[in-house]
Chains A and B, each alone.
Chain A
Amino acid sequence: MATELVSGNEACARGAIAAGCNFFGGYPISPSSEVAETLAKILPGHKGIFVQMEDEMASLGSVLGASLGGAKAMTATSGPGFTLMQEHLGYATLAEIPCVVVDVMRVGPSTGVPTAPSQGDVMQARWGSHGDREVAVLAPASVREIYDMTVNAFNIAERLRTPVVVMFDEVLAHMREGVELSAPSHDELWRRPRPLEDPGPSFRAYLPNEDGVAAMPNFGDGYHFHVTGLMHNEKGFPTTHPETIRGLMARLKRKMDPLPFWLPAEHYRLEDAELAVVAYGITSRVAREAVDRLRDRGVLAGLYRPRLLWPVGAADLADTLGRFQSVVVPEMNQGQWVEVVERYLPSAVRVVSRSKLGGEPMTTEEILEGCREFVKKGVRAL
């Protein structure tokens, strides 16, 4: 297989095709537009449909409609568009409609800096839609990983019937890396669950399978059923019955439990480490280099890199980092995922946020500087 020079956005589009994506509905926005442009070009040749919608609400709406028709559907956007999509992300969670949403992060709030990188959407991805909801958010750190995680995202979306967000930033979107992109085999692609009952008046579309996932048919499969953003019973019909609502909410949360096992965090040189750095996405690349440079100077540093930002792999996080005195969390925001680290680590661990704003990526030197106060005196100058 040949090595090619591919950008993150192109890798995302090609990962979607490899995953069997056959519907894209989108709206132009920097720095994600190349995902749409690439798919506009290649989807028709892969029995897929591309449609440019009138705004981001409509983009995700069209994706959800296509998915209910049986398509593997996706959209891509950036911060302001991601904000507009929150309504339909909440809808997709409650109505259990598989979909993939790519968010290429740029500087916010508001229009911010349209083509400069940031990691500012981490909390928006978690809490942007009203109400309680679990959401799968994947954070690739390289062009190759964008490709792979786009495939993962479709697999998770289909198997768990839930929206999956793939988040990276402007630098990863536009930079090119030499990669070999090998498509997954047919068996590596996961399918949505099949209905558990036969069609008929007593059919329950929201009857969960053993994974806790509603085993729904597609529209036009010969089943008659109702899909709504209202709280609903197993038939999909609206309800205000408190026990039914509690049961539904618990199931929607529980079905996400396997995710941290499917996408475990990367542990890099953590085994004997005395200082841990926690970083994801683009920032993890310089964090890795900082760890190596600290090691070169005799400082036992290691990197903990979550590949799944939500739901949090809390058990692994606590097991791995609970023994440290200090954990440094560099992020290109005012400190978002650091709150997760704080929440799941014992209070004896000192968790320190190192924030960078302004639309420039974090540098290795800045992470080294951020670690300086935790390095014992006598270590060669950092």
Chain B
Amino acid sequence: MNPGKQLLRQDMMPHILCPGCGHGIVLNTLVRVLAKRFTSMDQVALVAGIGCSSRIVGYIDANTLHTTHGRALSFATGLKLSRPELTVIVITGDGDGLGIGGNHLIHAARRNLDLTCILFNNETYGMTGGQLAPTTVLRAFTTTTPYGNKEKSFDAAELVKAAGATFVGRGQAYRPDLLEELIDRAIAHRGFSFLDVMTDCTEYFGRKNALGGGSDLLFSQARGEEAIAQGLGEWPELRDPDGFPIRETVPMGVLHEVNRPTLEEMMGLAGYDAREE
């Protein structure tokens, strides 16, 4: 049996994710890590913003907080400062975390509070119907770029690293085994840890760009090496000779890891608890 299964709230099922959506794989991977790391979820809080990815915190039997669009990190900041003993994990999406919540993301990285932020990056706004996101690649079709995207996208990992995060990594729904290790290391890291996780929106991004179903999208995450070799085009325009989409390769794994005092250390909050005596 999946060791994470007992951590799912059965009365919240069925979940809202579409068939083939990459988010379910990340949720599954996350609960596996949680089940391994923690004997009880009493001291674990999951904080999310708005969007398909952010909905997943509701499925986990812990202290769960589904906040406003883009602002999960601000809630997490207050929660962690008032209760430094809690493990606080923030779940966000690319629109949530880099669009409307971009300012909160860079400042959370700068503060280096001991939080873990997992960004589900599907290059679109799924929940609102597949619009342009700050991560949408050039030329991709979305419901608000019917003639193709003309804006350069963000590299979330580079951005957060530059802002001062002390642990930055990138994973893929395609490789849950590596992702599991990455999430585990991110939670273990003392300080602000950030993971850019490639997931896929089959329902909108996949359909709009004729990229196939869930498994086609997953496999496209794997074919990046060839794209680099060919040095051509932009995903999703780029296809192999059989017509399958090829994704540009971006570095995976742990991309940055340093030690710097956390905000709670700077504030001397060891043993602090804001609850009334």
Contact = CB atoms under 8 A, between A and B. Distances in A.
Interface residues of B, number: 42
Interface string A72-108: 1100000000000001100100000000000000000
Contacts of A88: 68, 71
Given A22-B274, A227-B66, A237-B11, A219 B45 contact: yes
Contacts of A70: 82-83, 273-276
Nearest to B81: A49
- Across the A-B interface, the 4 shortest Cβ-Cβ residue pairs: A61-B74, A65-B78, A70-B275, A62-B78
A191 B277 CA distance: 12
Interface in B182-235: none
Contact of B75 (A61, A218, A222): A61
Contacts of A63: 78
Given A219-B63, A220-B45, A225-B64, A73 B78 contact: yes
B65 interface: yes
Given A69-B274, A226-B64, A226-B66, A49 B82 contact: yes
B81 A66 contact: yes
Contacts of A220: 42-43, 45, 63, 83, 85-86
Contacts of A72: 276
Given A49-B81, A61-B73, 18 more contacts: A22-B274, A23-B82, A49-B272, A49-B274, A54-B107, A57-B68, A61-B71, A61-B74, A65-B47, A65-B77, A66-B82, A72-B276, A191-B276, A220-B86, A224-B64, A226-B64, A230-B66, A237-B11
Contact of B76 (A51, A65, A235): A65
A62 B274 contact: no
Interface of A: 20, 22-23, 25, 47, 49, 51, 53-55, 57-73, 87-88, 91, 191, 201, 218-230, 235, 237-238
Contact of B65 (A58, A191, A227): A227
Interface in B50-76: 57-58, 61-68, 71, 73-76
A59 B73 CA distance: 11
Contacts of B71: 57-58, 61, 87-88
A63 B274 CA distance: 12
Nearest to B113: A51
User: Would you call the interface of chain B mostly helix, strand, loop, or mixed?
Assistant: mixed
27 contacts: A20-B276, A22-B82, A22-B274, A23-B78, A23-B81, A23-B82, A25-B78, A47-B272, A49-B82, A49-B274, A57-B71, A57-B74, A58-B71, A58-B77, A58-B107, A61-B71, A61-B73, A62-B75, A65-B65, A66-B79, A69-B79, A69-B83, A70-B275, A72-B276, A220-B85, A223-B63, A228-B58
A125 B83 CA distance: 30
Contacts of B81: 23, 49, 51, 62, 66
B144 interface: no
B103 A55 contact: yes
Contacts of A235: 11
Contacts of B73: 58, 61
Interface string B19-63: 000000000000000000000011101010000000001100111
A219 B81 CA distance: 13
B12 A219 contact: no
Contacts of B62: 224
B68 A61 contact: yes
B267 interface: yes
Contact of A227 (B9, B64, B104): B64
